[in-house]
Amino acid sequence: MSSINNNQDNKIKMSPRLTISHNWFMIKTIFRASPLLFILQTFDSVRWHGMNFIGGTIWIGFVLESVEFRRDFSDVVFFTGLFFGLSLLSGLYSAFNHGYVTHVFAARAEQKLRLMLYDKARSLDLSCYDEPNYYNEFVLSVTESKNAVERTTKLIDRMITGLVIVFAYGTFFLLRDPVSMIFVVFSFIARVLIGRAINKLQFKARISEMPFVRKRGYIHRVFYLNDYAKELRLNKKVTKGLHKEFDETNDEIYKIHKGISKKKFVLSFLSEYAFSDFIFDGLYLTYLVFMTVLRKTMSFGTMFVLHNAVWSMRRGMIVLSELLPSAMENALYIDKIRTFTNYENKIVSSKNLPVPKDIKTIEFKNVSFCYTDKQDYILKNINLVIEPFNKIALVGYNGAGKTTLIKLLMRLYDPVEGIILLDGIDIRDFNLDEYRQKIGTIFQDFRIYAASVAENIAMDLISTLPDADSLMTSAVELSGFKSRLLEMSEGFNTPLTREFEEDGTALSGGESQKLATARVFYKTSDLIILDEPSSALDPIAEYQMNRSMNMAAKDKSVVFISHRLSTTKHANKIFMLDKGEIIEEGTHEELLHLNGKYNEMWSAQASRYV
């Protein structure tokens, strides 16, 4: 993910072209998700600031001049009635916009953006998860998706606000007193430059603190997730250690913000006072008094209206002065989202060939693999053949490379060296999704989702397979989960976990493993891969599952990993791995006669099987 690993200093640079491009991308995303949000928000901004201009300048100016020059009072009454009528209609629309439009349509835009990020995360190469920088980018992208929508809608509102105010009040000043524009323009230029510097500081701090924010979030989860509840109560030293880590993490975040606080103070003072209040409340007011009292070229009514209008013009210029820095800051975050969504996967289909209807021979030829260039090889020169309908066992101590080997077989990774063949064809040539659909897999770190039993078994296949009900019934029977299912009042519709349902069912470790194994039986796959399929099962359940597996998979190829050699005993062929290499291979009896590592492992466990 090279685009993510750029130098941090380069990340905080944003050219005007990229600023426009990124913000335009977000505007288009919002518009496609909810066109009415864009249109109604635009109209609301024009309405609001247009009414402010009419009331704060035209109406007040007309009333003051009518009094000063003794105009007909009926004109004042008519104009006042017209203004308040418009104000009433404007207020009704404002209530509709802020009470309904903003909340409903903004939620749709955020939903579309988040779904786009979730879809991308689902399809990313698994290697991205091996890089800490990926987590920073992904977490930032997802957490910023809502903020990006809000910032962009606010940016649109501010842009329209600024344009309406500058056009209306700028025209007014040019007609009444062009010199007033000098004060406004000078303040505007100064605040643009200062605002840009402040936003760069804030963004740099956000990027620097992200690893610590992520670590703080992890500690936060440890204290409230059920997964850690028992250990925390039994190991008080862990709690103390986490408290210490939490304090140290917060200290690092504090140091980051403290490091920019002095610069932010100086820049904020210049922006908020020196180039704002001092210019308008000091210099400009002095100029108006001079023109009215000393030179007498301006009436008191005009002076009052100009002084009143300059506050609105000032606010409009402040909005415009912050528009470019805000757009650049927003673009910096949108850049993270676009970098994430534009990442091009390396695990792709080179020729997109259709997968054979029946998977036959699979062969590893001189396969070696390491996760990153900085790590040692996890697998070294692996050569093995999986014949049709054979039951293959991969055994070895922890860290031998067994799980990594099946990840290569599933094309979650590609070999660094060597090739994997399916019926003599490089598996990289086959359509990736179709190839993976041919494989049914249960990893040792499987997950039970906060969903129904049926959804946990079927996953994304619940509505696509013919005879889904009968397949599911057969799957739970073969996996040994049927007896537990019969105890559930809602059957396959029973909600699992108590994440969202108070009456959700919490499964034991063995029950969860049986349910996860049912996924393999439900899926009509040619190759079954089982990573520690019986680790949480008692010996009787393990025996029943092995028998069911042999019955259900008699016309399928099976690759399974197990530390329990009772499971591997009846495999057609066993491969013993050690430090990433195949050191022994053969049947159970053949490996025992070798009197090697397999025999050593079997002898250590033999007492359990007598």
Q: What is the Cα–Cα distance from 429 to 349, expressed in whole angstroms?
A: 5
The pLDDT assigned to 467 comes to 61
Query: What is the rounded average pLDDT of the residues 584-588?
Result: 92
Q: Are residues 244 and 171 in the same domain?
A: yes
pLDDT class of 420 with cuts at 50, 70, 90: very high
Q: Is residue 215 part of a domain?
A: yes
Q: Which of 10-24, 328-342, 403-417, 562-576 has the lowest mean pLDDT?
A: 10-24
Q: What is the Cα–Cα distance from 138 to 120, expressed in whole angstroms?
A: 10
Give just the sign of the alpha carbon dihedral 290, 293, 298, 303. Answer: positive
Domain with 588 in it: 358-438+528-543+556-610
| Encoded tokens for 32 | 């496609």
Q: What is the Cα–Cα distance from 53 to 594, expressed in whole angstroms?
A: 94
Q: Are residues 113 and 63 in the same domain?
A: yes
The pLDDT assigned to 526 comes to 83
The pLDDT assigned to 86 comes to 83
Percentage of the chain modeled with pLDDT above 90: 12
Statement: residue 4 has pLDDT above 60: no
Give kind and range of the element (H or E) at residue 529.
Answer: strand 527-531
pLDDT class of 7 with cuts at 50, 70, 90: very low
Q: What is the Cα–Cα distance from 269 to 192, expressed in whole angstroms?
A: 14
Instruction: Write out pLDDT tens, residues 82-140.
Output: 888 888 888 887 777 776 766 677 777 777 777 877 787 777 788 777 776 666 666 66
Q: Are residues 430 and 563 in the same domain?
A: yes
Q: Are residues 247 and 389 in the same domain?
A: no
Q: What is the Cα–Cα distance from 384 to 424, expressed in whole angstroms?
A: 13
Give the domain CATH number at 470.
Answer: 3.40.50.300
* Phi/psi of residue 75, nearest 5 degrees: -65, -40
Among 87, 97, 3, which Cα is nearest to 44's?
97
Q: Are residues 395 and 486 in the same domain?
A: no
Distance set, CA 431 to CA 350, 354, 411, 435, 528 (Å): 8, 6, 11, 6, 19
Helix, strand or coil, per DSSP, at residue 297: coil
Q: Are residues 520 and 383 in the same domain?
A: no
Q: Is residue 211 part of a domain?
A: yes
Helix, strand or coil, per DSSP, at residue 535: coil
pLDDT class of 540 with cuts at 50, 70, 90: low
- Long-range contacts for 172-177 (Cβ within 8 Å, ≥24 apart)? 172/53, 172/57, 172/309, 173/306, 173/309, 173/313, 176/302, 176/305, 176/306, 177/291, 177/298, 177/302, 177/306
The pLDDT assigned to 196 comes to 80
* 397, 409 contact by CB (below 8 A): no
Q: Is residue 31 part of a domain?
A: yes
Q: Are residues 519 and 532 in the same domain?
A: no
pLDDT class of 68 with cuts at 50, 70, 90: low
Helix, strand or coil, per DSSP, at residue 235: coil
Among 547, 572, 545, which Cα is nearest to 388's?
572
Higher-scoring residue by pLDDT: 553, 47: 47
Q: What is the Cα–Cα distance from 547 to 303, expressed in whole angstroms?
A: 96
CB atoms within 10 A of CB 201: 17
Instruction: Write out pLDDT tens, residues 170-207.
Output: 888 888 888 888 887 788 788 778 888 888 888 888 88
Q: What is the DSSP letter of 572?
A: S
Q: Is residue 4 part of a domain?
A: no
Query: What is the rounded average pLDDT of the residues 426-453?
Result: 87
The pLDDT assigned to 307 comes to 75
Q: What is the DSSP letter of 557?
A: E
Statement: residue 361 has pLDDT above 70: yes
- Order the strands of the 417-422 sheet from edge to edge: 379-386, 362-369, 417-422, 425-426
Statement: residue 524 has pLDDT above 80: no
Q: Are residues 137 and 205 in the same domain?
A: yes
Q: What total of structural domains would you count in the chain?
A: 3
pLDDT class of 385 with cuts at 50, 70, 90: very high
* 535, 565 contact by CB (below 8 A): no
DSSP characters over 91-119: HHHHHHIIIIIHHHHHHHHHHHHHHHHHH
Statement: residue 2 has pLDDT above 50: no
Higher-scoring residue by pLDDT: 247, 443: 247
| Encoded tokens for 394 | 């991969």
The pLDDT assigned to 45 comes to 80
Q: What is the Cα–Cα distance from 586 to 592, expressed in whole angstroms?
A: 9
Q: Are residues 71 and 216 in the same domain?
A: yes
pLDDT class of 545 with cuts at 50, 70, 90: low
pTM: 0.65
Q: Is residue 609 part of a domain?
A: yes
Q: Are residues 303 and 209 in the same domain?
A: yes
Q: Is residue 6 part of a domain?
A: no
Q: What is the Cα–Cα distance from 111 to 117, expressed in whole angstroms?
A: 10
Q: What is the Cα–Cα distance from 382 to 366, expressed in whole angstroms?
A: 5
Distance set, CA 276 to CA 197, 418, 523 (Å): 17, 68, 68
Give just the sign of the alpha carbon dihedral 26, 29, 32, 37. Answer: negative
The pLDDT assigned to 3 comes to 41
Among 209, 208, 207, 166, which Cα is nearest to 188's?
166
Among 308, 341, 374, identify where a domain stops.
Answer: 341
Name the average pLDDT for the chain: 81
Statement: residue 9 has pLDDT above 50: no
Q: Are residues 222 and 272 in the same domain?
A: yes
Give the domain CATH number at 109.
Answer: 1.20.1560.10
Query: What is the rounded average pLDDT of the residues 411-430?
Result: 93
Q: What is the Cα–Cα distance from 565 to 291, expressed in whole angstroms?
A: 99
Higher-scoring residue by pLDDT: 516, 144: 516
Q: Are residues 34 and 80 in the same domain?
A: yes
Q: Is residue 106 part of a domain?
A: yes
* 437, 410 contact by CB (below 8 A): no
Q: Is residue 350 part of a domain?
A: no
